Structure 1
């Protein structure tokens, strides 16, 4: 038994309007996922904001029209979709703004999310103004496990040497060789983008020193990842990188809290004595 059927039995044939508002300023995301829930519940909604729009505390995002059980269900399902993804979009926008356009912000950790929310996380990152891919071109990302299985960076890059229209990304970890040697091997064998994925700024400096020594700084991009903090953005900018990959601080961002409120005046009208 659904207890709501008992609670609402005397007004189940009534329609109510309820307003969805955010509890703080942020960026709206999750509309596509909310629409899926709306169809499932069978209610009506009028959006006042679009995906990626700035929203302000207390200002309407949408108005829901439904019977009492529909309103109660909407509070559970629609708010859940919007709050999580809007939180991610808001954190992303904060990172993008902090970068001052000097570093391209990427949030690649969506790949570690459960399959059912991956699309929503990617959409939220885009809504916040960043990318969920390290390269805007067709890309081959060669991580540590590819390198371990094939034996070395040169061997992996040799397998894709014919794919000249792809950006070839090598994850630099300093595992097989030093950071300097892995960087040199990658550059000498056709790498286009170096991902220093250690979270250690000293490793980044060592990688960049090799890039500069070889005189290829204008021919290759350098990215950095690993325990990145948005509050340290100035440090990353001053390091001279092209791409900054932010993980937990985006995908694990706090919810953009929202609430759904039935219009009180409308309720009073229903309660008037005949």
Structure 2
């Protein structure tokens, strides 16, 4: 993804550098026996892209070798689609240090590029069907590796969605019932729909004007309750494709007649979306399609480092 607003790497928090340090420590917690054999001779290594895909994860790759006293010269741009076999970069420095960072750097780059490739593929597929909405990931990420996965989604042209529990209030059915139970009002609440306003009010009171509230809805009744309570995003969860299109159109049309025009609330669709079926859920009334398929269980882009002495 080429951003017209600047480099995506500028979004990264300084904490990613500490993550890189911890990954290097994890890979070599005591003695580097192989490095001892190699010694301190200077050299360089060619980074080869060995399968087709979108290159992503450049800042993490760079930081691995920066922390080891090496330099990286890139021959491709992040977000570029490569064909095998392509020399993507040259790493220079002590051979021992290059080999010390090799596996950590390649693992990050391969995984991040795999996510960017899958994200880009699905975005392009949806655009080919004329859909102009937002494809987003989910919070089903790998603990300790979330920043890399979310970054890969961005490079691939999709939206990372919320990064953590503090990014936005997401009210699922368990939140709604738990909130109603805490307030002691469950005796007067007969359904999730009637409990939603209680939960939305509590969320808005806690998060204030700056925190959006999203409500997971499994029926039109629940969606109407959420919109009426002032939710910012309505997630239609596990609807059929036809059910999604009908529900989204009905909600947008009926609430526009009540003074809530398009843009007052967003409609998100989630639940079982993949590259093979996502387009069937897309319509002009659907603003967001969210799926974990673009970052969970995706393949990799294969890279290798080939060392040579200077």
Q: TM-score if structure 2 supplies the norm length?
A: 0.71
Per-residue deviation, 1:68: 3.2
Per-residue deviation, 1:49: 3.1
Give unmatched runs, 5+ long, in structure 1.
174-178, 268-274
Per-residue deviation, 1:247: 0.4
Q: C-alpha distance in 1, partners of 2:134/2:302?
A: 28
Aligned length: 253
Q: C-alpha distance in 2, partners of 1:13/1:139?
A: 49
Whether 2:74 is the aligned partner of 1:47: answer: yes
Q: Deviations over 1:38-58 (max 9, x none)?
A: 133332222223433333322
**Contact map agreement 1:26 1:90 (CA 8 A) in 2:** yes
Give the RMSD, CA atoms, in angstroms: 2.8
Per-residue deviation, 1:220: 2.9
Where does residue 190 of structure 1 map in the other structure? 230
Where does residue 257 of structure 1 map in the other structure? 302
Structure 1 residues 167 and 34: CA distance shift in structure 2, 3 A:
same
Structure 1 residues 52 and 199: CA distance shift in structure 2, 3 A:
farther
Which among 152, 159, 167 is matched to residue 131 of structure 1? 159
Deviates more, 1:158-167 or 1:51-60: 158-167
Which among 212, 216, 230 is matched to residue 275 of structure 2? 230
Where does residue 214 of structure 2 map in the other structure? 169
Where does residue 105 of structure 1 map in the other structure? 135
Q: C-alpha distance in 2, partners of 1:203/1:252?
A: 27
**Contact map agreement 1:102 1:237 (CA 8 A) in 2:** no
Where does residue 202 of structure 2 map in the other structure? 159
**Contact map agreement 1:21 1:60 (CA 8 A) in 2:** yes
Where does residue 19 of structure 2 map in the other structure? none
**Contact map agreement 2:200 2:230 (CA 8 A) in 1:** yes
Deviates more, 1:62-71 or 1:84-93: 62-71
**Contact map agreement 1:199 1:227 (CA 8 A) in 2:** no
Per-residue deviation, 1:122: 1.3
Q: C-alpha distance in 1, partners of 2:88/2:239?
A: 38
**Contact map agreement 2:44 2:95 (CA 8 A) in 1:** no
Where does residue 16 of structure 1 map in the other structure? 43
What SS does the aligned partner of 1:105 have?
Answer: strand
Whether 2:149 is the aligned partner of 1:121: answer: yes
Question: Whose radius of gyration is greater, 1 or 2?
Answer: 1
Structure 1 residues 213 and 3: CA distance shift in structure 2, 3 A:
closer
Per-residue deviation, 1:210: 4.3
Give unmatched runs, 5+ long, in structure 2.
1-30, 181-194
Q: How does 1:29-44 map to 2 (within 5 A)?
A: 29-44=56-71
Which among 274, 287, 291 is matched to residue 242 of structure 1? 287
Whether 2:123 is the aligned partner of 1:96: answer: yes
